[in-house]
A and B are shown apart, each in its own frame.
Chain A
């Protein structure tokens, strides 16, 4: 059953007027396929009181982008909570590199007290940096500001500069106070802009000696996703210069300017950096998607086409054939369990789109999709970027402007050849989620608790993929819920091996016998058929 405009009106009718007007603009009922996407409102404030899944700028900056960088010590400047909640909770796995440095299991906070709020916390921060350097010897340090830091006006930039002078390592100060912007997305910007400005290219190394050098951008190695992607790329013959930022290192990131091609996995969190890298160094970017079998194959073929080497192309086809022969029979088994089912796919700011292909490869159709913190271009495609009006909230996030680096900019592919490739592959391009949705499906931005419950009641999906905060709401309704932020502690779900694990996990959530016990047996048995008082008759 599809949702009609009338039905939608009934659901949203509960809302107070202002909420109704606001929320209606965040919902699109997909009309018959056209070339241009329908318009949706996104990246605007969640109204106060709405039970949203969104987090804050700090969560996006320290929690998502900066936190996974393994050879840095990340100091959270603020009261204890923000550091505590971003300590080991996002499954961005990491292994130490050659220098043995990996601090992801540590959590550092200035643990601001009332006196620090009153008199300022700069001295405490400086001292903690000194301690961290003395004990841990990190390659660099980050400072992430929490809400009160911005309010009391601690100059974390000055503290960072002084510490850099004392210790001779980079100290990056991120002003990612939680109240900035409207969601995690603001924090991604603050984090990535700083990495672009201060880290990438901060090296004497001019070129990469390895052939087929790529950066993997917007991959956070949740459950080991990045490692599965790296396995495939390495088998084919690629060299990954750096990953931003899952299992990423500060030392590798400094070399990102030497890559021949940038791969963008999560469009939302990093597309602007890919653009800047092209302006500054001339490196084109390709929108990849290593979630799902077809998407993975498409991405690999586009990469091979870019480098245009026959051996590389042949190797790509060999690896694809080898992997497909290995995994397809297994996937087909799981598909039998999943075939014909429907899903909601509401995750972050790219996965809501990425996972639909993988769902459909195991026979599941996505009937509702959306993002927690995306912008309009993630829904409608990059064409709309110039038309997106900046509101007060997005103006608070400083833009970074880059120019061609006079020494390092070089054309990496003939413009005519790139233009030709663009006809077939998404180089510097992303068409967004909406054009891929089927007629009659529904796209919801910043889906909230009330709407989740209502849309489930109407559409009866067989599975809902979302996050931890609504997982048990959904399961209480007797519907399997798959966390697509943490993968329910499974994974990887990327690449070929990930597709098998995903198919196994999803079919397990349908096949689990536990669902059969929700209704007690006596509820379906008429009471009168039972023997009364143990009587003889």
Chain B
């Protein structure tokens, strides 16, 4: 497996990727758009883009992922895709009847410079229906950038201030970032436990984890509604979870509707969850309820009870920057040593002037006294080489890590996007205290299964 990857670190300066750790913007935009109720994402480009994105999202969620395409041909590429877009809008409303069409661009339509707002203005849009768009050129950033751009478009198109005199309503906007629907549910549950009203956007829960009823619903019950998106402009404040996926929208909302925001880590692990609840507590002067304190206590109990399963183990973590940063912090809080940390997404989220991923992770490692490799805009070929030079006890990352795990015979915990070879993960949160419990279970199980597998008969233990 991957036997052509040498241990020797070869200087590579082409700027190309070997086994990338990211994909392109439009798939992230498509996923974000699914988090709007009764919305059909529309891919403005060649058919293949839409097909690839639907394929990947469907395999990750094992649920219908509906989206349409402008079906570019050579002619449209030369003369512009405006006509294709207008025809698409007409056909989509007539045949598939969504409330909202969310258009995202592709490298094709971006390169030829299609003017999407003009095409939308010139389109026949039925009364009460909405079309909006995000520019998502595939040659910038990653799928996380695309998610961020589409989420930002929800603010720039819809958020509005209804209340006069700078008055605000007592609720919080929560921008959950590129996480599974179960994580969005868990974040909402924590907020509800706090007794705080919220609007979450985008919210894919109830859309890409819809129940089996014997009936196909093209637009399932979930998703943020357009009235809710409009109302985000009246919130007391905004919590952005995961700065790469969410902060740009929070900044836009601050600019557009003067809503202060706080940018936090994705609430994965104990520290990040604490910070999330503390932010809510501070903004709404609400005490953290006993129920959540109890959940936290259970988590700490388990962390303590099982610490010898994972303490001091070396771990390599890769995936999307927001979840990798939070996961690194959690691993440190478990006493593990994240010696290789890598994301495919380049340094800062576009347009938001964010500091680097490397800076943030290195600071965490330094504080914990861990010496490690950290890289943004890296690829899995590099990660594999690092592991060959400094072996690890555990690999944490998306499905693509399984090749490295097999090549180097390392226990592997699947985490992040995409996970194509296992099911259930979209239903099981990794956020919040309960999500942290699940992560500990996965990490411990992976390590203990390896102990069992490798133990000599006389060392094979009943109790561990």
Contact = CB atoms under 8 A, between A and B. Distances in A.
Contact of A473 (B59, B72, B216): B216
B71 A105 contact: no
A80 interface: yes
Contact of A49 (B24, B70, B108): B70
A130 interface: yes
Contacts of A49: 42, 68-71, 87-92, 95
A54 B70 contact: no
A470 B64 CA distance: 7
A114 B346 CA distance: 13
A179 B22 contact: no
Given A183-B47, A472-B63, A476-B215, A130 B107 contact: no
Interface stretch (A147-155, A294-302, A322-330, A382-390): A147-155
Given A81-B23, A106-B4, A107-B18, A134 B215 contact: no
B313 interface: no
A393 B74 contact: yes
Contact of B91 (A47, A117, A125, A476): A47
B136 to A, nearest CB: 11
B87 A54 contact: no
Interface in B64-110: 64-77, 84-85, 87-92, 94-96, 106-108
B71 A148 contact: no
Interface stretch (A55-63, A194-202, A432-440, A493-501): A55-63
Among B16, B58, B67: residue with most chain A CB under 10 A: B16
A22 B159 CA distance: 40
B94 A47 contact: no
Among A46, A48, A148: residue with most chain B CB under 10 A: A48
Contact of B214 (A84, A146, A477): A477
B308 interface: no
Contacts of B91: 16, 19, 47-50
Nearest to B81: A48
Interface stretch (B48-56, B177-185, B266-274): B48-56
Interface stretch (B6-14, B31-39, B253-261): B6-14
Contact of A79 (B66, B69, B77, B139): B139
Given A81-B26, A450-B96, A473-B64, A52 B90 contact: no
B20 interface: yes
A472 B58 contact: yes
A475 B72 CA distance: 30
B157 interface: no
B95 A450 contact: yes
A470 B63 CA distance: 9
B46 A178 contact: yes
Contacts of B213: 476, 518
A56 B4 contact: no
Contact of A476 (B4, B69, B217): B217
B17 interface: yes
A56 B48 contact: yes
A78 B48 contact: no
Contacts of A114: 137, 139-140
B204 interface: no
A151 B77 contact: yes
Among A103, A453, A472: residue with most chain B CB under 10 A: A472
A3 B459 CA distance: 68
Among B45, B68, B138, B381: residue with most chain A CB under 10 A: B138
B63 to A, nearest CB: 5
Interface string A64-90: 000000000001001111111111110
Contacts of A183: 47
Contacts of A469: 51, 54-55, 58, 65
A83 B400 CA distance: 13
Interface string A419-438: 00000000000000000000
A451 B241 CA distance: 40
A392 interface: yes
Contacts of B64: 470, 472-473, 476
B14 A396 contact: no
B125 interface: no
A417 B458 CA distance: 72
Contact of B49 (A75, A112, A177, A178): A178
Interface in A12-53: 14-16, 19, 45-53
A532 interface: no
Interface in A108-136: 108-114, 116-117, 124-125, 127-128, 130-131, 134-136
Among B1, B65, B71: residue with most chain A CB under 10 A: B71
Among B51, B76, B212: residue with most chain A CB under 10 A: B51
Given A50-B71, A85-B56, A146-B107, A116 B14 contact: no
A422 to B, nearest CB: 38
Nearest to B52: A85
A135 B4 contact: yes
Nearest to A456: B216
A178 B65 CA distance: 21
Contacts of B112: 151
B359 interface: no
Contacts of B328: none
Nearest to A393: B73
Given A48-B85, A49-B92, A146-B107, A468 B210 contact: no
Nearest to A60: B48
A205 interface: no
Nearest to A107: B19
A478 B74 contact: no
B363 interface: no
B15 A113 contact: yes
Nearest to A89: B55
A59 B10 contact: no
B140 A113 contact: yes
Among A468, A475, A518: residue with most chain B CB under 10 A: A468
Given A105-B403, A473-B64, A476-B212, A112 B217 contact: no
Contact of B106 (A116, A128, A147): A147
A102 B274 CA distance: 48
Interface string A472-499: 1111111000000000000000000000
A471 interface: yes
A449 interface: yes
Among A53, A85, A130: residue with most chain B CB under 10 A: A85
B2 A105 contact: yes
Given A49-B90, A107-B18, A179 B108 contact: yes
Contacts of A125: 16
Contacts of B389: none
Contacts of B42: 49
A131 B106 CA distance: 28
Given A109-B17, A109-B20, A179-B76, A468 B108 contact: no
B73 A182 contact: yes
Among A148, A183, A392, A453: residue with most chain B CB under 10 A: A148
B51 A16 contact: no
A106 B2 contact: yes
A519 interface: yes
Interface string A513-524: 000001100000
Interface string B188-219: 00000000000000000000001011111100
Which 5 A-B pairs have CB atoms at the shortest separation, nearest pair first?
A56-B48, A81-B24, A49-B91, A49-B88, A178-B46
Interface of B: 1-2, 4, 6, 10, 12-20, 22-27, 42, 45-49, 51-56, 58-59, 62-77, 84-85, 87-92, 94-96, 106-108, 111-112, 137-140, 142, 210, 212-217, 344, 381, 400, 403
Given A53-B51, A110-B17, A131-B14, 13 more contacts: A19-B95, A46-B71, A79-B137, A81-B107, A87-B20, A128-B14, A131-B16, A148-B111, A468-B55, A473-B64, A478-B214, A478-B215, A518-B212
Interface of A: 14-16, 19, 45-59, 75, 78-89, 103, 105-114, 116-117, 124-125, 127-128, 130-131, 134-136, 146-148, 150-152, 177-184, 392-393, 396, 449-450, 453, 468-478, 518-519
